[in-house]
Amino acid sequence: MLSSSKYVLAVLLAFVVCLLSATPASSEETPGSSDSTEIIKVDDGSGIIPKPGSGTSPSSPTDRGGALQLGLLGLLILFPVVAIVSIRRQAKRNKVSDKT
């Protein structure tokens, strides 16, 4: 029992030390007081999601928005449609053969 209370005390002490060391230290310089540094945010569309019309047109079939990507999109749309149609046709055939 005595050892578990020492363990709890040690964990609590470690937690307090972590909290005290994690607090930000105060600095003499306030944010934004530097006149020589100027931050300019330029949004040229090179972020994760580019702005519409900010990119370049595809020059190769493998480029973004090129023929191969559009072909792949077409295949991704076509395959589920073909699967659904074939399943429905097969279901109709099975329904007709079950009635006879």
Residue reference for tokens 């559009």 = 70
Instruction: Give the Å distances, CA to CA, from 4 to 7, 10, 11, 13, 73.
Output: 5, 10, 10, 14, 62
Distance, CA of 85 to chain centre: 34
* Model confidence pLDDT, tens digit, residues 4-51: 677 777 887 887 776 677 656 555 555 555 567 777 666 665 667 777
Residue reference for tokens 């480029």 = 63
**How is residue 24 annotated by DSSP?**
P
Whether 85 shows a pLDDT value over 90: the answer reads yes
Q: pTM surpassing 0.75? A: no
Instruction: Give the Å distances, CA to CA, from 52 to 46, 62, 83.
Output: 11, 20, 34
**Angle at the Cα of 48 (from 45 to 53), degrees rounded to 5?**
35
- The pLDDT assigned to 23 comes to 59
One DSSP character per residue, 45-89 reads S-SSSPPTT-S---SSTTSTTSHHHHHHHHHHHHHHHHHHHHHHH
